[in-house]
Structure 1
Amino acid sequence: MRKTARQAARATAQLAAAAALAFGSYLFITVLLFTAVVTLAVVGAGLLPETVLLIRRMAGSKRRQAARWTGRDIPEAYLPVTGSLRARLRTVTHDPGTYADLRWMVAHYAYGVLLFLPLLLLWPLGLLVDGAWCGLLRRRALVLPLISRLAGLDAAWSTGLLKPSPKARLVERVEELTETRAGAIAAHGAELRRIERDLHDGTQARLVALSMRIGLAKRAYDRDPAAARKLLDDAQDQAEEALTELRHVVRGIHPPILTDRGLAGAVRALAASSGLDVTVRVDGLGDSGHGPRAPAAVEAAAYFVVAETLTNAAKHSGSRRAEVRLARTDTALRVRVRDEGRGGADENTGTGLTGLRRRVAALDGTVDVASPAGGPTVIEVELPCVW
């Protein structure tokens, strides 16, 4: 009985909050109508994006109310309202979420109060004493569940109206993929410029020097064999250095060690050469190319995530220890790198996190960075893939 009474009290609070939000909608309708009038008059068009943002906040409040009652979150699917006034107007007028919120507001204008009004009758009815304590208990046992059902109706209707439509999800997904594509193109351009710079400043310069030494050796071969031999020795050194530079460039495109050892073996080799005491934990992946393999692009992205984060840890964290975890799930490859350093990693300070995020986003993956001041720094990456 006490549990039922507590549930009814909670339902009453839920319905009271719904009614308060509905009364707020009454007041907001005036603002909405005013905005519509001045928008039609052009001079007040700047109010429309702000009005839509206010509607979003009201809808968000209702989502949280319904989630508290049902225990299930209601996702949002909105386009970001940014840029110039023209861009903001175009966004709010083309966003399916705007019209879904308006439909909810109009409906909630009615049912938010209509579901609350029966409480004015149900609670007094439950408290009427029929001359006996048992009568009171019977009345409460009948009435209190009705109050909970009213709150359930409010939450169910709001959930149905506020959950994103397939069109809204599609629009949000297209926007997300557009941003991801732009990031992937930027990352690809930066990678091409890096390769071009490495080839121009390193390999090309060494090959030019090699060609010059071979030419000088040919000229000196007849008149000064000893000098020619020295020039050829220098040319051999230049050729070896050029090969080293080429291997470095190739590793930047797709590390051969991934092909030879697989991701787990390649990461262990990275850990051994990082200058840190690194613990590598592997779940569901084989070494030396054996066992299940992710697609080459996914393996390369995971390899570079580990390489970049270990490099950052060695340079900036002040810690001598780190941990790398690789885990295979049914639909993804997960990478987790943790160091016990000073923390405070910031994507805006040139620590390589922006490039890492772009590389992962190009594969539709996610990056989570936790680096509070004082540490530790934990970077978690999930890369979708089919095994």
Structure 2
Amino acid sequence: MRKTVRQAARATAQLAAVAALTFGSYLFITVLLFTAVATLVVVGAGLLPETVLLVRRIAGAKRRRVAQWTGREIPEAYLPVTGPLRARLRTVTHDPGSYADLRWMAAHYAYGILLFLPLLALWPLGLVLDGLWCGLLRRRALVLPLIGRLADLDAAWSTALLKPSPKALLVERVEELTETRAGAIAAHGAELRRIERDLHDGTQARLVSLSMRIGLAKRAYDRDPAAARRLLDDAQDQAEEALTELRHVVRGIHPPILTDRGLAGAVRALAASSGLHVTVSAEGLSDSGNGPRAPAAVEAAAYFVVAETLTNAAKHSGSDRAEVRLARTATALRVRVRDEGRGGADAAGGTGLVGLRRRVAALDGTVAVTSPAGGPTVIEAELPCVW
């Protein structure tokens, strides 16, 4: 009996919150109607985005309340309300998630009190009848559990009304893909600018110098063969340096070793040349490139995650040790890089993390950065793929 009373009390608190929210919705709907009328006459158009954001917060509070009762989260899908007033108005009037919130609020306006009113009868009736039923007839309570059923009913209705519709999920997905596409284009543009800079400042300058030395050697060949030979020796050195820089540029585009030896072998070679003491572990990946491999774009993104992170560790961490873990799962490739440095890595601080996030997001992947002050810094990336 005591357990039943406690459960009924918890359900009562849930339904009391429903009633309180219903009373609040009565006031809020008045504000909403005022906003709608004001919007029609343009004077109150600026109120509409703020009103919709307030509806989202109320719906969010209801989602959390239902999650506490049922133990199951209700996802949400909204378009971000940002930018100038015209853009904000366009967003709130085309957002399926906001319309779902309004439908829930209108329904809650009708059924909220209807679920709460039976409590006034069920509590005294349940305490009397269930007490007699349990004390005299030695049977379990029957009336008080009905309060929990009412709370279950409210949770079921709210879940059905507040969960995102397929259209809302599609709109959110399109918005996400638009953002990642823009990030991918920005990352691609930055990469092209880097390649152009490397070619212009390095390789092109060396090739110009090489051409000049060959020209001087040709003019000096008949009158001073020894000087011409020295100039040709210098030209050969210049050519070798230009070739080295070209290889560096090519590795920056797509490392040949990644094609030849696969991700695990390429990362081990990268770790060996990083200047740090790096331990590499690869679960489910071959060092020789044999066996199942992720798509080339996924391997390239994972390689550059490791390369960028080790470069940052060498420059900024203050530590000479790092650890790289590669893991193949049924549906993804996971990359984890850890260093024991000073920490404090910030995506907005120019450490290359913005470009790294964009590269991974372009493949529908995710990046998580943990870098408290004092370290360690851990960067984890997950790239979905089919093996």
TM value normalised by structure 2: 0.96
Query: Paired residue for 2:235?
Result: 235
Q: What does 1:1-387 align with in structure 2 at a 5 Å threshold?
A: 1-128=1-128, 132=132, 134-135=134-135, 141-387=141-387
Paired residue secondary structure (2:154): helix
**Following TM superposition, by how much is the alpha carbon of 1:291 offset from its aligned partner in structure 2, in angstroms?**
2.2
The superposition leaves residues 303-360 of structure 1 with CA deviations (integer Å, 9 ceiling, x where unpaired) of 1101111111222222232221111111111111122222221111101111111111
Deviates more, 1:78-87 or 1:207-216: 207-216
Relative distance call for 1:215 and 1:376 in structure 2 (3 A) is same
Relative distance call for 1:44 and 1:259 in structure 2 (3 A) is same
8 Å contact from structure 1 (residues 187, 358) kept in 2: yes
Structure 2 letter corresponding to 1:253: I
Paired residue secondary structure (1:380): strand
Structure 2 letter corresponding to 1:126: G
8 Å contact from structure 1 (residues 126, 139) kept in 2: no
Relative distance call for 1:272 and 1:240 in structure 2 (3 A) is same
**Following TM superposition, by how much is the alpha carbon of 1:294 offset from its aligned partner in structure 2, in angstroms?**
0.7
Distance 1:54 1:62 in 2: 13
Distance 1:140 1:334 in 2: 53
Distance 1:101 1:16 in 2: 21
Aligned residues: 387
8 Å contact from structure 1 (residues 369, 379) kept in 2: yes
Relative distance call for 1:140 and 1:109 in structure 2 (3 A) is farther
Distance 2:155 2:36 in 1: 29
Deviates more, 1:124-133 or 1:197-206: 124-133
**Following TM superposition, by how much is the alpha carbon of 1:276 offset from its aligned partner in structure 2, in angstroms?**
2.3
The superposition leaves residues 52-110 of structure 1 with CA deviations (integer Å, 9 ceiling, x where unpaired) of 00000000001111111121111110000000000000000010111101000000112
**Following TM superposition, by how much is the alpha carbon of 1:129 offset from its aligned partner in structure 2, in angstroms?**
5.8
**Following TM superposition, by how much is the alpha carbon of 1:133 offset from its aligned partner in structure 2, in angstroms?**
7.3
5+ residue gaps, structure 2: none
8 Å contact from structure 1 (residues 129, 136) kept in 2: no
Paired residue secondary structure (1:61): helix
8 Å contact from structure 2 (residues 127, 144) kept in 1: no
8 Å contact from structure 2 (residues 317, 339) kept in 1: yes
Deviates more, 1:171-180 or 1:269-278: 269-278
**Following TM superposition, by how much is the alpha carbon of 1:137 offset from its aligned partner in structure 2, in angstroms?**
8.0
Distance 1:131 1:182 in 2: 66
Deviates more, 1:252-261 or 1:264-273: 264-273
Structure 1 letter corresponding to 2:165: S
Distance 2:81 2:122 in 1: 44
Paired residue secondary structure (2:116): coil
8 Å contact from structure 2 (residues 306, 324) kept in 1: yes
**Over aligned residues, Cα RMSD in angstroms?**
1.7
Distance 1:268 1:130 in 2: 71
The superposition leaves residues 265-315 of structure 1 with CA deviations (integer Å, 9 ceiling, x where unpaired) of 111222222222222221111111122211111111101101111111222
The superposition leaves residues 250-272 of structure 1 with CA deviations (integer Å, 9 ceiling, x where unpaired) of 01100111112211111122222
Deviates more, 1:275-284 or 1:75-84: 275-284
Distance 1:320 1:200 in 2: 33
5+ residue gaps, structure 1: none
**Following TM superposition, by how much is the alpha carbon of 1:184 offset from its aligned partner in structure 2, in angstroms?**
0.7
**Following TM superposition, by how much is the alpha carbon of 1:46 offset from its aligned partner in structure 2, in angstroms?**
0.4
8 Å contact from structure 1 (residues 127, 136) kept in 2: no
Deviates more, 1:112-121 or 1:267-276: 267-276
Structure 1 letter corresponding to 2:361: A
Paired residue secondary structure (1:116): helix
Deviates more, 1:131-140 or 1:31-40: 131-140
Relative distance call for 1:225 and 1:106 in structure 2 (3 A) is same
8 Å contact from structure 1 (residues 125, 139) kept in 2: no
Structure 2 letter corresponding to 1:322: A
Distance 2:136 2:150 in 1: 21
**Following TM superposition, by how much is the alpha carbon of 1:130 offset from its aligned partner in structure 2, in angstroms?**
8.4
8 Å contact from structure 2 (residues 134, 141) kept in 1: no
Distance 2:164 2:131 in 1: 52
Relative distance call for 1:183 and 1:129 in structure 2 (3 A) is closer
Paired residue secondary structure (1:10): helix
Distance 1:130 1:203 in 2: 89
